[in-house]
């Protein structure tokens, strides 16, 4: 079931799509501008905003990427450009990096750039043992040109 407003669709089963948007005028302007020429789908990933928050669900970057792929395959049966904000942007990159999409790592030269993540162990939003922290922590074992440095005071 969807609710359609002009060229913007909201999918209630995934949330109302405005977890970050009320405080980000730039994002709201981008949606309005894009909606003039394209169909825009604003969704919340499972566990964010007004979406369901099922107990026991494995909240990982890979799971969110799969939710995006499922949404694209079931709702938008044509080529699409996923755009995300914050955690959603990383989930979009992961989703787009799998088949049949391009692998972003292959689009860049193999250069050594350290990844510095400044998280304290008390950070309530992006703790190292949370989905985003686990994803970044796993990168050095997957990509030889990535080094993770965690700084804690």
Percentage of the chain modeled with pLDDT above 70: 56
Give the tens place of pLDDT for each residue, 45-59.
888 766 778 888 888
Q: pLDDT tens, 87-133?
A: 787 888 888 777 665 555 554 445 455 554 545 555 555 667 777 77
Average per-residue pLDDT in the chain? 68
More confident residue, 71 or 121: 71
The pLDDT value recorded for residue 97 is 75
pLDDT digits (tens, 9 = 90+) for 129-145: 777 778 878 888 887 77
Give yes or no for a contact between 8 and 40, defined as CB atoms under 8 angstroms apart.
yes
**Per-residue pLDDT reduced to its tens digit, 14-35:** 434 444 444 455 566 677 777 7
**pLDDT score recorded for residue 19:** 40
Q: What is the DSSP string of 52-95?
A: ---TT----HHHHHHHHHHHHHHH--S-------THHHHHHHHH
The pLDDT assigned to 3 comes to 37
Pull the structure tokens for residue 72.
Answer: 């694209």
pLDDT of residue 66 exceeding 60: yes
Separation of alpha carbons 44 and 17, rounded Å: 5
Q: DSSP 3-state assignment of 146? A: strand
More confident residue, 31 or 4: 31
Contact 44, 74 (CB under 8 A): no
């Amino acid at each position: 079931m969807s609710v359609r407003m002009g060229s913007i669709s909201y999918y209630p089963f995934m949330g109302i799509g405005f977890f970050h948007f009320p405080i980000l005028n730039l994002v709201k302007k981008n949606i309005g501008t894009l909606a003039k020429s394209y169909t825009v789908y604003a969704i919340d990933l499972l566990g964010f905003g007004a979406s369901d928050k099922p107990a026991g669900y494995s909240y990982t970057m890979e799971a969110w990427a799969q939710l995006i792929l499922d949404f694209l395959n079931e709702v938008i049966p044509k080529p699409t450009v996923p755009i995300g904000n914050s955690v959603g942007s990383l989930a979009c990159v992961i989703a787009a990096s799998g088949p049949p999409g391009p692998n972003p790592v292959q689009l860049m030269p193999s250069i050594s750039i350290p990844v510095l993540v400044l998280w304290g162990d008390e950070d309530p939003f992006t703790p190292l043992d949370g989905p985003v922290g686990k994803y970044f922590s796993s990168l050095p074992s997957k990509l030889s040109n990535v080094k993770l440095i965690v700084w804690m005071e």
